[in-house]
Amino acid sequence: MTEARTLHISKISWKDAPTKSVDIAGTTFVYRQLGGGADVPLVMLNHWGATLDNFDPRIVDGLAATRTVIAYNYRGVGASGGKAPLTIGEMAEDAIAFIRALGLGTVDILGFSLGGFVAQDVALKAPHLVRKLILTGTGPAGGEGISKVGAVSRIPILKGMLTFRDPKYYLFFTSTANGRRAASAFLDRLKERKADRDKPIALGAFLRQLKAIKAWGLQRPQDLSAIRQPVLVANGDQDKMVPTVNSKDLARRIPNADLVIYDDAGHGGIFQYHEAFVARALAFLAK
């Protein structure tokens, strides 16, 4: 694999990281970058409906303490231009083009939920670009319950509207005291950035992403034994959006995979246990 170039070292935090952009074949993709050094950079891919402001500051800052972290918006999401793709495959092709546009020869990728679908496809389509993968709150093509994400999310989204809460309060965390405390803390962290916030996702892009997720859930299973890179799989033990069984399936089917399951945690298990997750992720990336 090609050695990653040395990137500019920055000590800024995620809430203050400037929003940058890169043009890819006439479409503008926005991203934020922090950390630095000569290590392989880590590209972060986020969930359905997420913009740059939905990355957890504690996780990004924790990972950026020892390496370069780059997070970007998919096509058609937030301030990124173009129209949101209708397939995970198209999102993966965009991710590959984004990595190349930044002049990166090799990267690590952390994908959460939808981002985990994309990360798997990137590793299969362009294995030479990927050194290690972290797959969180996610599952394989054709995985159990993935095609039903929209149906599962409908009531929590409605409940969020009725209670004036972000739907992630209900979707990403358990209803236990621990889960509710973690949900409130996570949502508070997402509000820490005050200036230069991203544009919210448009309804059309939100629905197109949902169609891509459903198609992924109905897609024929991929040959995950072709992913030869080291992989860390993480999830909560009670993920209702992308059922936890899918994380176990990923760890079973990918030859060089480690699995961590967090107790009393849902889809957002890595946010609830962000300190433990960052420590585990950094140790995994440093091997």
- Of the chain, the end-to-end C-alpha distance in Å amounts to 16
Residue 2 lies in a domain: no
Please give the tally of structural domains in the chain: 1
Helix residue ranges per DSSP H, the chain: 57-64, 88-101, 114-125, 149-163, 168-171, 177-189, 203-218, 245-253, 269-272, 274-286
pLDDT tens, N- to C-terminus, the chain (287 residues): 333 334 444 578 999 999 999 999 999 999 999 998 768 999 999 999 999 999 999 999 999 999 999 999 999 999 999 999 999 999 999 999 999 999 999 999 999 999 999 999 999 999 999 999 999 999 999 999 999 999 999 998 898 888 889 999 999 999 999 999 999 999 999 999 999 999 999 999 999 999 999 999 999 999 999 999 999 999 999 999 999 999 999 999 999 999 999 999 999 999 999 999 999 999 999 98
- Centroid of chain to Cα 261: 17
- State the amino acid at position 42 in one-letter form: L
Residue 1 lies in a domain: no
3-class state of residue 84 by DSSP: coil
Residue 243 lies in a domain: yes
Domain that holds residue 23: 7-286
Residue 179 lies in a domain: yes
Q: How many CB atoms are closer than 10 A to CB 54?
A: 19
Residue 220 lies in a domain: yes
pTM of this structure:
0.94
CATH code of residue 157: 3.40.50.1820
Distances (CA, A) of 207 to 199, 211, 212: 16, 6, 9
